[in-house]
Amino acid sequence: METDQVLHQQLPSAYRQLQPQAAQAISHGQPAHLQHHAHSLASQAGLDLTGLEDPDSVFNQELRLQDPNGHAFQNALPYDRNHSHQPMHIQNNGSPHTPQQQHNGGQFGVLRPLQHNSIDRLQQQEDLFGTPDGSDQKSNGHLSTKIVENPPNLAEWRQKLFDVNEMITLSEEEFQTYFPHVDNVYSHRSTQKYKRKPFVSHYWDCRLKGRPPGTPKSNDPNKKKRKRTARERDLCDVKIKITEYFPGAMLRADFVPDGGQPQDPQGNNFFTPGQPGDQAMQHQFGGMVLGANNSLNSPHPGANGQRFYTIQRVNGNGGNGKGDGVPGPHKHGLEESDRVKKNSIQRHTAKRDKEEKKTQKTYHKKATGNALATVRKHSKEGDLKLFGSCFCPFVQRTWIALEYKHLPYQYIEVDPYKKPQNLMEVNPRGLVPAIRHGEFACGESTVLIEYIDECNGLYPILPPLTDPQRRAFCRMWAEHINKKIVPLFYQLLQAQEFPKQAEYTKKLQDAISEIVEVSDPEGPFFLGHFMSFVDIHFAPWMIRLPRVMKHYRGWQDPDPGSRWGRWMHAIENNEHVKATTSTEDLYIDSYERYAQNRPNTSQLADAINGGYPLP
């Protein structure tokens, strides 16, 4: 029974790789010379078919479902791995091709249903490549649908596939990964199919060759006219041939590659010593290690029956401009091909980016209102430079500190999502805010506020050094803002379900209540009459509560006479906060991507203990 289970896993791939008479010879006890031939073929494929002669084996049970002429009965069903006699459902992930990689359950997991008359046809023609529609013995087409935007060694691959100075042998994974990056160089012209041969040839011309005159122009006045720029013809004579070898091609005893020459087991694979990808480049793509064929001892991509491709230059009639039949190189560089047309990957990413721009509202890249006036005031070259983004609250707290200290500075608006070079030079992480002060560069808003405070300026931000306990008190509650209030602000904004919105609203109000309760009772700021370290840390989120959180999450304004209400009022009307604040619509637009569903304000208030007023 254990032997039957092993055979049952191996047979689907084994049977497809054997010539039909040989498979029947093993299973039906045919003459020894046929059985010997079958085992020889299996040995080439690395398969052990010992035990197939057993008339009680699982495979022979399956074959007995056929009539003596090889026709499969209509009710023939595959067996499951436990030898039950229930039909099983075979999924193929929507792919038109049969899976090629072996898994624990064998190549196909279960024995496939036998197709009507297919075994008989294979026996008569001895052609493994005349199998029914839907099998893997068909062309995948000359184009790849695989999208890998930045595979390893891309520049070297593109140059190699542009030059094609020698025949290049590629695995299916390599072809699908890299050829879409050069399909702008070539234009497909024709496909040559062959009877009873395990390959198909695709011919491509250099795109700069130009097309001969085609269909005459239409005189239909209603036909939409295309705007086309005519290119000069006959700029290049290069033509390439891509030969696509079907799975199992090299396992055939009578295999002869395209062109009639015996196949070099090493091939001219791209990853050989001295070629791009040498030095054991190991990169994982789609379950296959690319660049593993990096030595002369590496197996051919099709040695184990995989689909593979060869690419060679075949222009032999004046390709080098001499008319001597010697195939010559392109008459232009790769840069010119890239200028004429974008490749498939570039077109795909451009289309994707365009669609994303349609569905996502972009963030603002220019301050508005009072903040814009401040930007213009500080646009001149200065030794102290603040790299910031108008929508970012972490930038605003640093900006407020600079305004509060009345330090001379230059404000530089940057797009942190594109990480411009001038920002990367200041902060290698590409994050804002960032400051360059002469040769000194630094990031992190909390650190920057303390640095700004220790520079010469008008007013102190932290209490004096003579009061270390109060300085520590300020740092502790600034940490409360960073570790509790700020995360809860974004958790509430991102929460889409109403119960979660109510939960995070309550948590955020609790966290704010904690800091309000320890603030100076008279206020109006945290330590009393003047703005200080904690106020600057909290101010950007305080002004976003009535602008953003009220708009998207129904946040309630505080009672004007409460301690929280007086603190909010003081922050809103502080000249340094106002100088760095943009108009309300900038913040509403910038946070739209975070907040999708707006709650009913009255329902939310009822869910949070009747509104849960802050002190």
Instruction: Name every residue whose Cβ is closer than 8 Å to that of residue 328 and which is 6 or more positions away in sequence.
Output: 237, 238, 315, 318, 319, 320, 321, 322
Q: Which residues contact 152 (CB under 8 A, 6 or more apart)?
A: 277, 281, 283, 290, 291
The angle subtended at Cα 521 by Cα 520 and Cα 523, nearest 5°, is: 65
Start-end of H helices in 308-463: 334-340, 344-359, 369-377, 393-405, 421-426, 445-454
Count the neighbouring beta carbons within 10 Å of the beta carbon of residue 444.
17
Q: With 0-12 CB in 10 A as exposed, 13-18 as middle and 19+ as buried, what is 220?
A: exposed
* 76-85, 113-122, 566-575: range with highest mean pLDDT: 566-575
Q: Give yes or no for residue 70 having a pLDDT over 50.
A: no
pLDDT of residue 169: 93
How high is the pLDDT of residue 486? 95
Whether residue 109 is predicted with pLDDT greater than 50 in this model: the reply is no
Nearest Cα neighbor of 440 from 522, 383, 524 is 383
Report pLDDT for 287: 32
CA torsion 328-334-337-343 (nearest 10°) is: 120
The phi-psi region of residue 215 (left if phi > 0; otherwise alpha if psi is between -120 and 50; otherwise beta) is beta
> Which segment of 88-102, 206-220, 459-473 scores lowest on mean pLDDT?
88-102
Asked if residues 197 and 247 have their Cβ atoms less than 8 Å apart, the reply is no
Closest CA to 48 of 82, 3, 86, 87: 3
The whole-number pLDDT of residue 231 equals 55
Distance CA 120, CA 123 (A): 5
Residue 266 is predicted with a pLDDT of 45
237 versus 82: the higher-pLDDT residue is 237
What does the block give as tokens for 395?
């930038």
Q: What is the pLDDT of residues 319-373, one digit of tens each?
A: 444 444 556 788 889 999 999 899 999 999 888 878 777 655 566 889 999 999 9
Name the more confident of 590 and 260: 590
What's the half-sphere exposure (Cβ side, CA atoms, 13 Å) at 347?
A: 11
- Sorting pLDDT into bands at 50, 70 and 90, what band is 448? very high
Structure tokens given for 103 = 């898994």
Q: What is the number of alpha carbons within 13 Å of residue 4 lying toward its C-beta?
A: 15
Tokens of 407: 């330090």
Rounded-to-integer distance, Cα 386 and Cα 411, Å? 5
DSSP 133: T
pLDDT at 326: 57
Structure tokens given for 280: 């054991």
Residue type present at position 315: N
User: Lowest-confidence range among 267-271, 285-289, 425-429?
Assistant: 285-289
Give me the amino acid identity at 162: F
Query: HSE (CB half, 13 Å, CA atoms) of 136?
Result: 22
- pLDDT value at position 40? 52
Tell me the pLDDT of the chain averaged across its residues.
Answer: 73
CATH architecture of 369-607: Up-down Bundle (1.20)
Angle between the 498-518 and 468-480 helix axes, to the nearest 10 degrees? 170
Residue 550: CB atoms within 10 A of its CB come to 15
Q: What is the DSSP letter of 106?
A: B
pLDDT of res. 370: 96
Q: Is the CB of residue 357 less than 8 Å from the CB of residue 363?
A: no
Counting residues of the chain whose pLDDT is more than 70, the rounded percentage is: 61
510: three-class secondary structure by DSSP: helix
The answer to whether 65 touches 57, Cβ cutoff 8 Å, is no
Question: For the chain, where do the domains classified as CATH 1.20.1050.130 start and end?
Answer: 369-607
Residue 536: count other Cβ atoms within 10 Å of its Cβ: 29
SS3 string, 172-197, reads HHHHHHHHHHCCCCEEEEEEEECCCC
CA gyration radius for the chain? Answer: 36
**Measured between alpha carbons, how far is 557 from 370 in angstroms, rounded to an integer?**
23
pLDDT of residue 598: 58
* Rounded Cα distance, 330 and 337, in Å: 10
Q: How confident is the model at residue 592 (pLDDT cuts 50, 70, 90)?
A: confident
Cis status of the peptide bond prior to 12, with omega within 30 of 0? no
Q: Tell me, what's the pLDDT at 563?
A: 96
Length of the chain equals 615
Q: Is 87 helix (H, G, I), strand (E, B) or coil?
A: coil
> What are the C-alpha distances in Å from 97 to residues 84, 251, 257, 425?
27, 19, 23, 50
Q: pLDDT per residue over 389-422, tens digit each?
A: 999 999 999 999 999 999 999 999 998 888 888 8
Residues 6+ apart with CB under 8 A from 485: 508, 511, 512, 515, 538, 541
- Residues 34-60: pLDDT tens digits? 455 455 545 544 444 454 444 444 444
Which residues does 49 contact at the CB level (< 8 Å), separation at least 6? 7, 10, 14, 26, 38, 39, 42
Confidence (pTM): 0.46
The fraction of the chain above a pLDDT of 90, given in percent, is 44
Express each pLDDT in 226-274 by its tens digit.
Answer: 666 555 666 788 899 999 999 998 888 888 888 765 544 444 443 333 3
pLDDT value of residue 377: 96
Q: Which residues of 136-156 are buried (b: 16+ CB within 10 A; e: fewer)?
A: bbbebebebebebeebbbbee
The single residue listed with the structure tokens 């032997």 is 3
Q: What span, in angstroms and rounded, lies between the C-alpha atoms of 326 and 332?
A: 18
Lowest average pLDDT, out of 119-123, 186-190, 203-207, goes to: 119-123
